[in-house]
Amino acid sequence: MLSDRVSSAVERERVFRDGEVIVTEGEPGREMFVVLSGEAVVRRSGTVLARLQKGQFFGEMSVLESLPRDADVIAQGDTRVQVLGPGALLVRLRRDPSFGLEIMHALSTRVRALNERLDGTT
C-alpha cells in the first residue's frame, strides 16, 4: 500500500509524558526510536536493562527483523523521541552514512557489555 510506504519513509517526533509506555514487550513493531530529550528506561520482566538518553536509540531489532518487541520502554520525565520506520531509516542512512556507523558502534558496545556480564566480569 502506497500510504504505508510513504508514512514509513517519514521521520517524525513524538513526546511521551513521565511514566508513559513507549513500547511494550511482545507487541509487534516496525519503528525504532532515537531519544532527543528526556530519558527512556528499558525494562524486561521488571528489571531495568538500560537508561537511554539523548542520542541513544532503541527498537532497532523490530525494524531490522520484523519481530515483536523484546522489552518495555517507559518515559522517565517528559521524553521526546524521533520515530523511524524502515523507510525512514533507509532514507536517513542514505542521507547520513555516519548514522549507520553510530548504530553499529552502539550495537557492538551492547554486545560487548552483554558478553562481560555473561562472563561474570562486571
Q: Name the residue with cell 515483536.
A: 68
pLDDT at residue 122, as a whole number: 55
Residue 117, pLDDT > 90, answer no
- CA-nearest of 6, 3, 2 to 88 is 6
Domain that holds residue 110: 2-119
Q: Are strands 12-16 and 72-84 parallel, antiparallel or unpaired?
A: antiparallel
pLDDT at residue 9, as a whole number: 63
Q: Give pLDDT tens digits for 32-71.
A: 999 999 999 999 998 999 999 999 999 998 888 888 999 9
Task: Give the total number of structural domains in the chain.
Answer: 1
CATH number for 56: 2.60.120.10
pLDDT at residue 114, as a whole number: 83
User: Which residues, including other chains, have CB under 8 Å from residue 113's CB and lie 6 or more apart?
Assistant: 122
Residue 93, pLDDT > 70, answer yes
pTM value is 0.83
